[in-house]
Amino acid sequence: MTADEVRRAVIRISHEVVEKHAGTEGLALIGIQRRGVPLARRLAAAVADHEGVELPVGALDITFYRDDLSMIAQQPVVKGTDIPFDLNGRTVVLVDDVLYTGRTIRAAMDALVDFGRPRAIRLAVLVDRGHRELPIRADHVGKNVPTSREELVKVALEETDGEDAVTIDRVASDVPEPIT
């Protein structure tokens, strides 16, 4: 995805979110660290632009809720959670850059219910690359990108990486190239 495609996807998703909710009342956006956070802020800015309403935005670090913490070699660095509003009764839209196995989203939902009882949880992602390992689906998708497991989807955002781009890198492996 180019920078323009990212920008248009964000605008489209911001419209979809409001359309699905039939308004902005009770909506809140929570970005998943790391790149979900600037995406959530961009969505909030887009909604403010076309609806004139400032949605509350939070940041969620799911590190402590990962299901693989005891299996990985090193404790991951924690990036910080900041949810400065009450979740109870709100419709929370989780925002992340890539949806892959779904384990990050499961961890995010576990974390959210510790903060309160949202009325509903929705999911908006910039890229859905398939290969779900849990029954999780996104409500709003920027782009569907079919990939093989050997590939690496890299999302770059201006706020974290200096530019907007989504690229697919092939990771070297013994598995032969899939036939497209």
- Residue closer to other proteins (CB basis): 70 or 180: 70
Handedness of CA 52, 24, 56, 93 (dihedral sign): negative
Residue 162 binds to other proteins (criterion: CB under 8 A): no
Q: What are phi and psi of 36, to 5 degrees?
A: -65, -25
Q: Cβ 62 to other proteins, closest distance in Å?
A: 10
How many angstroms separate the CA atoms of 104 and 65, rounded? 9
Q: Which of 78, 134, 171, 175 is in the footprint of other proteins by CB under 8 A?
A: 78
Smallest CA-to-CA distance from 152 within 79, 94, 97 is with 97
How many angstroms separate the CA atoms of 138 and 123, rounded? 5
Q: Which stretch binds other proteins (CB under 8 A): 18-26, 57-65, 98-106, 160-168?
A: 57-65
> Do residues 61 and 80 touch, judged by C-beta distance below 8 A?
yes
Residue 158 binds to other proteins (criterion: CB under 8 A): no
- Residue closer to other proteins (CB basis): 75 or 180: 75
Residue 164 binds to other proteins (criterion: CB under 8 A): no
Q: Which x/- pattern over 114-153 shows residues binding other proteins (rule: CB under 8 A)?
A: xxx-------------------------------------
Residue 74 binds to other proteins (criterion: CB under 8 A): yes
Reading the block at residue 120, the tokens are: 């509903």
Residue 63 binds to other proteins (criterion: CB under 8 A): yes
List Cβ neighbours of 114 (8 Å cut-off, separation of 6 or more): none
Residue 82 binds to other proteins (criterion: CB under 8 A): yes
Q: Which of 4, 52, 71, 162 is in the footprint of other proteins by CB under 8 A?
A: 71
- Sheet holding 57-60: strands in order across? 57-60, 27-32, 91-99, 120-128, 140-144
**Where along the sequence are the contacts to other proteins (CB under 8 A)?**
61, 63-65, 69-75, 77-82, 110-111, 114-116
